[in-house]
Chains A and B, each alone.
Chain A
Amino acid sequence: MTEIRAPRRHPTPRTPGAVMSLYRLMLTSQVTRTRVIGLSALGLVSVFVGFAIGHAHLHDALRQGTRFINGFGLSLLVPVATLVFASASLGDPNEDGTLVYLWLRPVARAKIVAAAALASFTVTWPIVTIPLVISAALTGGGRSLVVGTVAGVTVSMVAYIGLFVALGLRVKRATVWGLLYIFVWEGFVATGNNTASRLAVRTYARSVLSHITGETFRVTDIASPWRWLVPVAVALVALAYATRRLSRQDVA
C-alpha cells in the first residue's frame, strides 16, 4: 500500500485565520444590495421623522424623541434589520447547501457560530445605528438621547443577533418566524403584562434608553444590572444553542 503523506499543517491551530476567514465570508454573503437598500430606506425614514420632530419646536423634544426612538428604532428597525442579517448568516448556507463547505472542516462549531454572530453585528450595527443616531440628534433631545439610542440599539442588537442566528439554523423561512416573534410576541403579547414583558428583548432596550434619558415609560422597567446583563445572557444562551444545533443537525 502506498504511504500517504499528510500535507503540512500549522503546528498550532490557526484560530485567527479560520475565524477571520469565516467572518469575511459571512460578511460578504450577508451584504446583498437588496438588503442594504431596503434597510437603509427604513433608516432614512427615521431620519426624516427625527427632522420633523426637531422642526416642530416641541417643548418636550427629549420626551418625543425618546418615544420615537423606542417606538420606531428599538421596536421596528433594530429587530427587523437584525433578523434579516443574522438569520441569513447561517440560515442561508443551511438552506442552499453551502453549509457543508464549512461543516466538513476541522473547525470548532462554536467558531463558525461566533463568526456568524460577529459578521451580523458588523453589518447591522452601522445600518441601524447611524440613521437612528442622526434621527435622535435631529429631534433636539440632546446628548442623552443620542447616547441612550446607541446604548439601547447595541444592547438589543446583541440579544437579537443571538436569537436570530439560532433561529436561522433552527427553522426554514426564519424571516417569517422572526417577524411573527417581533410583531406578535414582542409587539403584542409582551405588552400585556409584566411577566411577559420581561421575556421580550425590547423591554430591556427600552429600559436602557429610559435610564439614560431619564424619560419613563408606563410599562415595566428593569433594574440596573439586569437591563444590561439579560440581553447579553440571552445572546450567549442562544449562541450556545446554535453551536449545539450546528454540531448535531443533519447537513445537506
Chain B
Amino acid sequence: MTTIEPMIEVDGVSKWFGDLVAVSDISFEVGPGVTALLGPNGAGKSTILRMLCGLTGPARGTVRVLGGDPRRDLGLARHIGLVPQQEVTFETLTAFEFVRLAAVLHGLGHPDGAAALALGVVELDPADRRPTSTYSKGMRQRVKVAQAIVHQPHVIVLDEPLTGLDPRQRLHMINLFQRLGEDGRCVIVSSHVLDEVERFGSRVLVMVQGRLAAEGDFHAIRELMDDRPHRVRVRSDRPRVLATALLDAEAALAVRLEGADTVIVDTDQVARFRRCVAAAAQRSDAHLWEVTPLDDDLESVFRYLVGR
C-alpha cells in the first residue's frame, strides 16, 4: 500500500493576540485533494490559513508545508497560492495586470500567457481594460483566485473564496477546486457555510473557538450534526395535548410548556419529529400555528460539536 505524504502538517499549534486566543493547540495533516475548513466567524480559520502561508507564525507548535517552514522558507512561496479574505486588490491595475504581476513575481517564463490562462480559467476576459476597482465583489473574488493559481502551486489556500459569487460562478469555482484537488494539489478552503462545504464533498476540519472540534469525511460530520439533540418551538391552540401526543409517538425526548400556546420540544430524531408533528396535531385535534427550530443555526451545531 502506498502511503501518501501529508502536504500540510500542523502540530500542536497555538496562536494568541494579546489576551485573545485565536488558535489553541491544533494538530492536523492535510494531503492532496480538497479539504474544507469549516467554522463560524471568529473560529480561527483565517489565522490557521495565514499560518499555512507563513503570513504569521505560531506562538507555539509547528507548521510544515511541503516539508518546509512557510514563515522562513522564501522559496516555498513558489508552491503556495493564497486567496486572502480581504476583498481589496491593487485598484489601479486591470485584472490582467494584477495576475501578470503575480506571474512575474513568481518568475514565470511567459507571464502574459500564464495570466491570460489563469483569467480564462475563472472566466474573466484578459483584454478587459477596466481597473479592478470597478469590479463587482464576485469579479474581484475571481481575480484573486486567478492570481493564486497562475503559478500552478502545489498548495492552494482559499479563505472564503465563494463570498460574493453568483450561484453559477459558485458551481464553477467548486468544480475548479475539485479539479485542482483531483490533479494532486492540496486545496484547503475555509467556509462558514455548511451547504457550501457539502458541495465540496470533501474532507472537513471543523474549527470552533480556536479549537479543532471535529475532522473527517463530510458525511460523517453531517450525520454527527444531525444526530445531535434539537430544540423546536411548537405553537398550537392545544399545546398540552399536543405535547403528550409527541411523547407518546416517541418523537420527543422532553417537552416544556411555555405560556398559553407554546411547547418547547427536545428531540434527537429530527426526521421522526418532522414526520410525527402534523399527525400528532391531527390526532389531538390541535391546530399547528408554528414549528420553529431554535438551534438550527451553524453556531448551535458548532457549540454542540465543541461540548460533545
A residues engaging B (CB < 8 A)? 1-10, 13-14, 17-18, 21-22, 25, 28-29, 96-98, 100-108, 250-252
**Do A4 and B90 touch (CB < 8 A)?**
no
B residues lining the A interface (CB < 8 Å): 2, 4, 32, 50, 53-57, 74-75, 77-78, 80, 82, 84, 86, 88-90, 92-93, 98, 101-102, 104-110, 114, 147, 151-152, 154, 182-185
B residues near A103, Cβ cutoff 8 Å: 55
Residues in B whose Cβ lies below 8 Å from that of A251 = 50, 55-56
A7 in contact with B105 given A104-B80, A250-B56 (CB within 8 Å): no
Closest to B75 in A: A106
CB proximity of B68 to chain A, nearest CB, Å? 12
By the criterion CB–CB under 8 Å, are B89 and A101 in contact? yes
Q: Is the CB of A102 within 8 A of B105?
A: yes
CB distance from A207 to the nearest CB of B (A): 39
A sample of 11 cross-chain residue pairs with beta-carbon separation below 8 angstroms, ordered by A number, consists of A2-B182, A4-B154, A6-B152, A28-B92, A96-B88, A104-B53, A104-B77, A105-B106, A106-B74, A108-B74, A250-B50
**Distance in Å: Cβ of A31 to nearest Cβ of chain B:** 9
Q: Which residues of A contact B102 (CB under 8 A)?
A: 101, 105
Residues of A within 8 Å of B80, CB to CB, are: 104
Query: Closest residue to B80 on the A side, CB-wise?
Result: A104
Extra contacts besides A18-B105, A21-B104, A104-B55 (17): CB < 8 Å: A6-B78, A9-B108, A17-B107, A21-B101, A25-B93, A25-B101, A96-B86, A98-B88, A100-B82, A101-B101, A103-B55, A104-B54, A106-B75, A106-B105, A250-B55, A251-B55, A252-B86
Instruction: Tell me the minimal C-beta distance from A62 to chain B in angstroms.
Output: 44
Q: With A2-B32, A4-B183, A101-B147 given, is the CB distance from A21 to B55 under 8 Å?
A: no
